[in-house]
Chains A and B, each alone.
Chain A
Amino acid sequence: MQSLSRSLRLSLQKLRSTAPCSRYVHTEGTASSSSSSSPNTQPRTTSFGFKTVPEDAKESLVKDVFDSVASKYDLMNDATSFGVHRLWKDAFVSSLRPGRKGPMRCIDVAGGTGDIALRILDHARETYADRETSVEVVDINGQMLKEGFRRFKKTMYHNTPQISFHEANAQDLPSSQFKDNTYDLYTIAFGIRNCTSIPAVLKEAHRVLKPGGTFACLEFSRVNNPLLSTIYDQYSFTVIPLLGTVLTGDRESYQYLVESIRKFPPQPEFANMIREAGFSTGPDVDGGAWSDMWGGIACVHKGVKV
């Protein structure tokens, strides 16, 4: 089994930043996927999957990706994760316990199709008999919001003040609409890695949260177990783009999605970024500032605004 141990060694050693890619791309995005400091005349760049693109371009590239995946987003989530994403989202929302201390104003960013928003409202209603908690779903992509709106029409929250949909950029929430110190809970699930500048998103989150409010982020993260990581990589790069091809006819978008997972900063680094934005987190261990699910395939990062 020489080849297997070799691949394990490879996954242990491999630099998650851009070392394999550096042979092919001229300017590199850093592992934190914020823009790199490039030579003087070069424009600021960031990563789009394994590619490096100008910063301004990333937003529209991501928009194209989500425009094309929107209609089958939920189907693809179920197909590629075998439905496990539902478990992750359930665990995520349960750990937040929305409604426990009375009605909350929540903002769910990059929440397009409304998975988290629906779970928050259901949790508040079922566990705490709370019908005053409200969620504002914010997404930069209109198509995804449309899908969310459609889904909410099938629920009891449609046409109530408990749910509303807004098209806005997480890095730059309009201050007229999203005032300072307003929300008790800010959630962003599987969205932050698609943003061009993570620190900007964290800064906005800090602005709109009330003091004492919680920032919670569910995201794909680093798998540290080498065996699991090998299997996970093989699955991600082999099966997921093919499922995208077969189910939606769009391989490129799903290739981008799996690549963007690899470019996202690992848990300690992201926890540090959260602290730098002004949040207070737990210690830098699993169970402290973050909590791994399924070995790190998904991970919940939490912070409290001081």
Chain B
Amino acid sequence: MLNITCSTRTSSTLRSISTQTSRLIASSVIRDRQARHQQSGNVVSARFVATTPAYEGHIPLNWFENAFLAVGSAVMSLADPRRGDMIAALGETTAGPSLPRLRDQMLESAEGRKILKERPRVNSTTINMNELAEYREGTFGRAYVTWLERCGVTPDTREPVHYIDDPELAYVMQRYRECHDFYHCITNLPVSVEYELALKYFEFANLGLPMTAISAVFGPVRLTPQKRHRLISEYVPWALRCGGSAKSLITVYWEDRWGQNVEDIKKELGIVDPPEATWKRPLSEAKAAAAKRQRSAVFSTDKH
């Protein structure tokens, strides 16, 4: 690794190495403190906070940088909610002990262990919408495609994780981010702000990530009073009750359940339907679009 000539095309690893080099210079004070602590604890490892990245895209932060980014991203997320990277950064910098807890929950179930072993990713390359549209009516795969159509979204690539030091916990965070749409689908909620917030309450009760709590508390500020009232009076009780009693959704291997009946899944996980929501597109239109996709899939050649 140390003997490669730099070229711009292989820059990502080197970029992170050079970042670390600059950090070595800049963080010597912090490094000394860490080293002394590790030596006194009889830890043989020579790893310090500011060192080579643990995975691609990893940006190690010391406690000050973490705090700075947490505050900065919180302010920026409120100021400009379209900054998805800031919301992601807020989640990562405030995660703390919640991620190890989620990882342990995953380790306790066979399905969760499978997820940690195989580390599936959810994005437009791994999710084939045409294939999913072929599933029977009432299955999870079909429901997911219908939901995507109805909301007008795609399983696009979410912001990768940068600020979690442990690669396994970074994967857990990434998995949470990518499964967010599955939670939408299984609870049958659209993507407008008020339903996103309802889902955040649900996620907080179910998974316990601090960022969901922060969004839940500060998010309603951006709602109209009527929507806020509806959220607090109808959706929040449902979300907290349902999320708290349901099985931990981080342990669910969604990609293995495309063919399973949605109602069966909901019964297994302990999810009840929320109050009726208003959707952008009517169900009939979404179903028609899904059927059209199915028909075009029959004629396409790039499958199986």
Contacts and interface: CB of A to CB of B under 8 A. Distances in A.
Interface of A: 2-4, 6-7, 10, 14, 20-21, 23-27, 42, 45, 49-54, 57, 61, 230, 233-234, 236-239, 242-243, 245-247, 249, 251-252, 255, 258-259, 262
B4 interface: yes
Contacts of B21: 20-21, 24, 50
A6 B22 contact: no
A237 B19 CA distance: 9
A215 B23 CA distance: 35
A23 B28 contact: no
Contact of A50 (B18, B65, B69): B18
Contacts of A50: 18, 21-22
B40 interface: no
A243 B75 CA distance: 12
Contact of B5 (A26, A61, A246): A26
B86 A246 contact: yes
Interface stretch (B6-14, B112-120, B143-151, B284-292): B6-14
10 contacts: A7-B28, A20-B24, A21-B21, A24-B2, A50-B22, A230-B29, A233-B26, A245-B72, A251-B59, A252-B15
B68 A255 contact: no
B65 A57 contact: no
A57 B72 contact: no
A24 B14 contact: yes
A27 B25 contact: no
A198 B28 CA distance: 32
A177 to B, nearest CB: 31
B229 interface: no
Contacts of A252: 15
A6 B32 contact: yes
A20 B27 CA distance: 13
Interface in B82-118: 83, 85-86, 89
A242 B72 contact: yes
B76 A246 contact: yes
B26 A236 contact: yes
B38 to A, nearest CB: 14
A1 to B, nearest CB: 10
Contacts of A45: 6
Contacts of B248: none
Interface of B: 2-8, 11, 14-15, 17-19, 21-29, 32-33, 36, 59, 62, 64-65, 68-69, 72-73, 75-76, 83, 85-86, 89
Contacts of A52: 6
A21 B73 contact: no
A246 B4 contact: no
Contacts, number: 102
Contact of A51 (B11, B36, B86): B11
Nearest to B31: A3
A61 B7 CA distance: 12
B63 to A, nearest CB: 11
Contacts of B69: 242, 245-246
A158 to B, nearest CB: 30
B22 A54 contact: no
A25 B14 contact: yes
Q: Tell me which of A26, A230, A242 has the highest count of chain B C-beta atoms within 10 A of its own C-beta.
A: A242
Q: Tell me which of A45, A57, A262 has the highest count of chain B C-beta atoms within 10 A of its own C-beta.
A: A57
B102 to A, nearest CB: 25
Given A21-B18, A234-B29, 5 more contacts: A7-B29, A23-B2, A237-B27, A245-B72, A246-B69
A49 B36 CA distance: 31
Contacts of B85: 245, 249
Contacts of B62: 238
A108 to B, nearest CB: 30
Contacts of B8: 53-54, 57, 61
A51 B89 CA distance: 26
A25 B13 CA distance: 12
A31 B25 CA distance: 16
Q: Tell me which of B25, B27, B72 has the highest count of chain A C-beta atoms within 10 A of its own C-beta.
A: B25
Contacts of A51: 6, 11, 14-15, 18
Contacts of A243: 72
Contacts of B83: 249
Contacts of B18: 21, 24-25, 49-51, 259
Contact of A27 (B5, B17, B24, B68): B5
Nearest to A232: B26
B2 A10 contact: no
A3 B48 CA distance: 15
Nearest to A230: B29
- Top 10 nearest A-B pairs (CB, nearest first) are A237-B26, A246-B72, A3-B32, A50-B18, A7-B28, A26-B5, A7-B29, A52-B6, A233-B26, A237-B22
B123 to A, nearest CB: 20
A36 to B, nearest CB: 12
B33 A3 contact: yes
B56 to A, nearest CB: 14
A236 B33 CA distance: 21
Nearest to B77: A246
Contacts of A230: 29
Contacts of A4: 29
A58 B136 CA distance: 55
A21 B18 CA distance: 7
A255 B11 CA distance: 14
Contact of A24 (B7, B17, B25, B89): B17
